[in-house]
Amino acid sequence: MAALGHPAAFGRATHAVVRALPESLCQHALRRAKGDEVDFARAERQHQLYVGVLGSKLGLQVVKLPADESLPDCVFVEDVAVVCEETALITRPGAPSRRKEVDMMKEALEKLQLNLVEMKDENATLDGGDVLFTGREFFVGLSKRTNQRGAEILADTFKDYAVSTVPVADALHLKSFCSMAGPNLIAIGSSESAQKALKIMQQMSDHRYDKLTVPDDMAANCIYLNIPNKGHVLLHRTPEEYPESAKVYEKLKDNRAGVLLTSRPGGSADSLKSTPSLPPLVPLCEFGASTFKLLSSQALVLLISILAPIVLPEGSFLKIQILSLPFS
């Protein structure tokens, strides 16, 4: 996660840090439900495709870290660091089995010459999946993986931004059911717990955000990027996984000033007034269905911007559909 505080620069990224899949992922990764099985060869191909899109299609400089068989969840790099502007907070993951994952991430971010802050308090836990940066402020989910002390250390690290906490009861992470789908635009799931969390965020914030409600909570996890010389990109889940939610995302490509976007009947009853800051969408590429399903697009990549502020040329809003896996 990386973005500049100025709304016009929100979502800007130049680098992506990823990590290869260890074979131990299949048997020993933390799962939300028993019985989930992984075809490693297929998972590896899909991960390579995802990494290829980040580099070849989107032009990001991809930093590839090797797998560690002793760390079965190490592919989910988002949880071990929170990056905003030139500062990286090295987290203390809530699951003890994941805490050594921070070592290699720390080395990688040091090489990128970011300002590193380490979370060393043994009473603190923080997973990056619980951290939502809107470009104006942070929301931190208090979950089984993230506690109040972890949120306090994040607030101390990024003093220029307000930090509010949101209880997360029925999901692994805050971003299991919400994310930023564009400048000022929050994608949110339709479940009672997701809508309750959104209400809390609205009450906590002095800013009014637009919202894009999708029928499926997991489909609300997407990635918005503002890439130099490429323009605006939205990565989201496929119709094969979540057909009703995909239809909501599909309507974004018709977004123009004054257009009313409404999720289809039977899904969410909410409507979204188009935001002038959200550019039009055109398809970039679509990935077909696969049995490889990653927990979330965000969990697989740590996005970083290390350029000086620039003015991006007008460009299309590219749309990439991605897949997802039942891991934590």
Are the CB atoms for 115 and 87 separated by under 8 Å?
A: yes
Q: CA torsion, points 236, 14, 311, 285, in degrees to nearest 10?
A: -30
State mean pLDDT over 8-30.
Answer: 86
State mean pLDDT over 45-62.
Answer: 86
* Tally of CB atoms within 10 A around 209: 17
Model confidence pLDDT, tens digit, residues 89-114: 999 999 999 999 999 999 999 999 99
Kindly indicate the confidence band of residue 223, based on its pLDDT and cuts at 50, 70 and 90.
confident
Model confidence pLDDT, tens digit, residues 184-210: 999 999 999 999 999 999 999 999 999
Cα–Cα distance measured from residue 211 to residue 46, given in angstroms and rounded to the nearest whole number:
30
Model confidence pLDDT, tens digit, residues 137-172: 999 999 999 999 999 999 999 999 999 999 999 999
Q: What is the pLDDT of residue 35?
A: 56
Kindly indicate the confidence band of residue 33, based on its pLDDT and cuts at 50, 70 and 90.
low
Helix H or strand E encompassing 227: strand 223-227
Cα–Cα distance measured from residue 324 to residue 293, given in angstroms and rounded to the nearest whole number:
3
CATH 3.20.20.220 fits domain 7-322 = no
* Tally of CB atoms within 10 A around 114: 19
Cα–Cα distance measured from residue 240 to residue 244, given in angstroms and rounded to the nearest whole number:
10
Using CA atoms, how far residue 165 sits from 21, 120, 137, 154, 197, in Å, is: 32, 20, 11, 11, 10
Q: Where are the domains of the chain?
A: 7-322
